[in-house]
Each structure stands twice: as C-alpha cells, then as structure tokens.
Amino acid sequence: MSDLALGALYGLATLFAMFSGLPIAFALGTVALVFMYFFMPASSLDTVTQNVYEEMASITLLSIPLFIVKGSAIGRSPAGRDLYAAIHAWLHRIPGGLGVANVVACALFAAMAGSSPATCSAIGSAGIPEMRRRGYSPGFAAGIIAAGGTLGILLPPSITMILYAVAAEQSLGRLFLAGVGPGVLLIAMFTGYAVYRARKEYKAALAVYQGGGEKSAYLEDSSYTLKQKVEMLPRVLPFVVLLIGVMIALYGGYATPSETAGLGAILALLLVAGVYRLWRPKDMAPILSASIRESTMLLLIIGMSLLYSYVMSYLHISQSAAQWVVAMHFSKWILLALVLLLVVVLGFFLPPVSIILM
C-alpha cells in the first residue's frame, strides 16, 4: 500500500472514530494503536508509554492545569456577575450600553479565565436575563454573549493557544501577544454592532409605542448614582489588577508562561477566598475537582494526539502529504484558503482542541 493510500485510510479511520461518539482522546489513541499493530513493528507497541511520557514532559504543558485552576476559581465565584453589573453601571449611558457592557465583560472575563465556555456561562447567566428584561430580542441577547464568548480563544491566557503552541512547537508568549490585536479588533466590531443593533431595536420599539402600541422595556431608562457605581468597584478591581499583573509579568519578561500561570492560580484562589469568602473545603472542592477533570481531559487528549502524530510520522504519512501538496503547485493563497475551509468544516462538528491536535 502506498504512503498516500495509507494516509487516506488513516484519515478516514480517524473521522470514523471521531464521529462514532468516542471521546476525542480514545478516538485518537485507538486509531494510533490499531495502525501500530498492523503497520509497525511489534516492538513499537512496547514503547508506547515511554514515547507518550517523553513527549508529555514539557514545561509548557505545566501551564495548562494552572491556568485552568485560575479560570475555574474565577468562573465558579460571583466575579463574572459582579464584573458585568459594574461595567453595565458605568456604560449604561452609551447607546446600546447593555450590549456593549456584555461584550466588554466577556472580554475582561475571557482574559482572566482563558476559556470560552466559562466566559459564556459566567457572563451569560447574568447578561441574558437582564437584556431580556430590558426588551432586547432573544436572538440579539443570546448572540452577543455567544460572540463575546469566542474572545476566550484569542485573548491570553487562552487554553486553546497553549495547546496550539505545544502542537506547532511555537513560542507561547509570542502566541499570546499575537492574539491581542485580533481580540481587540473583534471587541471593537462586536461593540459597534451592539450599538447599531440597539439603536435599530430602539427605533422599532419607539415606533410601536408612538403608534399606540405597548411601551417596551427598551424605552425605559436606568440610572445609577455615582455612589452606586463606586460601591461596585471593590469587588471587581482586584480581579482587574490580577489580569494586569499577569500581563505585565508575562510580556515584561519577568516570568515564563508557566510561572505566570502558577502565580495567577494562587492569586485567583486567594482573591476568591478574600473577596467572596470562598475558603472553606466545601467551597474549594468544586473549584479543584472541576480543574482536575478538565486538566485530565485535556492532557489525555494531548498525550494521545502526540502518539497519533508519532504514528503518522513513522508511517511517512505526513511526509507524503507534504510532497503531494508540493507536487500540486498550489499558490500559498489557495493553500491557505483550503486549510481555512477544512478548519471551518471541521468546526461544525469538532471542538477546537481536537482540530488543533489532529
């Protein structure tokens, strides 16, 4: 069997395992072990654990569970709700201020937690009910949170970027820095659309009311005194200071990403304990157990993906695919478009982790 045919079989087997409902780690590991058994020397099976262990012995991977602890501590505290309330109080005078507040809150929380699902959960649980109560349409209320949640992939410390740094063998610090520009651009675009959509819905609600219809909650104005605004800050500022401190330590060259992750995790636990009094064992247990579950899942996926890549390299699948692409004489733009198209299609069915590590 030619290397290209073997590669096609390897890819089809992977897709079948992925879509069969197997967990990602087990799907990658099963395909790798089956191909090792049939197409590689028997001695290769004896070194599976050694190969996985050697590949996993990376200082970069150490930052994953530490950043997860930091995000879990912030995500399971009322920090997201308080952050949203404070930003809304200060931005409510802006047209579409509630939508803008949701985007800004998502951005700040994503930069603190590094997780898109955690961002959607923390900000959405407070933001969507409030937007619905103020007359925002269900689609807009859910859409602005879903869009804002994606900032967790771009803004550092992104868990997805850590996985990409490991898979592509790139500098984690430079990847974090590269995510800031696109992240800020998306924030500006999301807030701009929030203002535009809010004005559009406001005009529609006003036209209905002036035509003799029911007055929408959209037309009601909310107000906060300066005292109320200031009273919201003490619960929010410590976490913002934590975010700024982590960024300074990381980009100022004072600490490595792993050291920054460890410092951030410790400070997040201390802040949660000090600000919200979540220091008892019954309070800490959910934070730590959730961190262990997510860390174990991600590290198992990484370990199996490294084994998967090792099999691809040993069977010359990667090299044959690269030679085939070169032989097709694609321009760099067509090649980039094909890669992006593949990622978009896979994104309909698979999470970012599995796409990066496939």
Q: Check residue 222 and give its pLDDT.
A: 67
Distance CA 164, CA 185 (A): 21
pLDDT in tens, 151-163: 888 888 788 888 8
Give me the mean pLDDT over the 343-358 stretch: 73
Q: How far is CA 2 from CA 7, 171, 212, 322, 358, in A?
A: 9, 35, 75, 14, 21
- Amino acid at site 332: K
Contact 173, 250 (CB under 8 A): yes
SS3 37: helix
For 99, 134, 198, the CA distances from 206, given in Å and listed in that order, are: 18, 14, 12
Assign 295 a pLDDT band (cuts: 50, 70, 90).
confident
Question: Once rounded to an integer, what is the mean pLDDT over residues 118-124?
Answer: 76
Check residue 276 and give its pLDDT: 81
Nearest alpha carbon to residue 156 among 126, 125, 182, 131: 182
Give, in order, the Cα–Cα distances in Å from 168 to each of 163, 171, 309, 354: 9, 9, 12, 14
Residue ranges of domains in the chain: 3-46+308-357, 63-279
Smallest CA-to-CA distance from 105 within 240, 220, 276 is with 240
Q: Return the amino acid letter for 10.
A: Y
CB-based contacts of 322, cutoff 8 Å, min separation 6: none
Summarised one tens digit per residue, pLDDT across range 307-342 is 887 888 777 776 777 777 777 777 888 888 888 887
Amino acid at position 299, single letter: L
The answer to whether 230 touches 138, Cβ cutoff 8 Å, is no
pLDDT in tens, 162-208: 888 877 778 877 888 888 888 889 999 998 888 888 788 777 777 76
Q: How confident is the model at residue 344 (pLDDT cuts 50, 70, 90)?
A: confident
> Burial letters for 138-175: b for 16+ Cβ neighbours within 10 Å, e otherwise?
eebbbbbbebbbbbbbbbbbbbbbbbbbbbeeeebbeb
As a whole-number percent, the residues of the chain with pLDDT over 90 amount to 1
The answer to whether 356 and 308 have CB atoms below 8 angstroms apart is no
Average pLDDT, the chain: 79
> 23 in helix, strand or coil?
coil
Q: What's the whole-number mean pLDDT along residues 271-295? A: 84
Q: What is d(CA 135, CA 131) in angstroms, rounded to the nearest whole number?
A: 6
Is residue 205 within 8 Å of residue 216, measured between CB atoms? yes
Quote the CA–CA distance of 279 and 22 in Å, as a whole number. 37
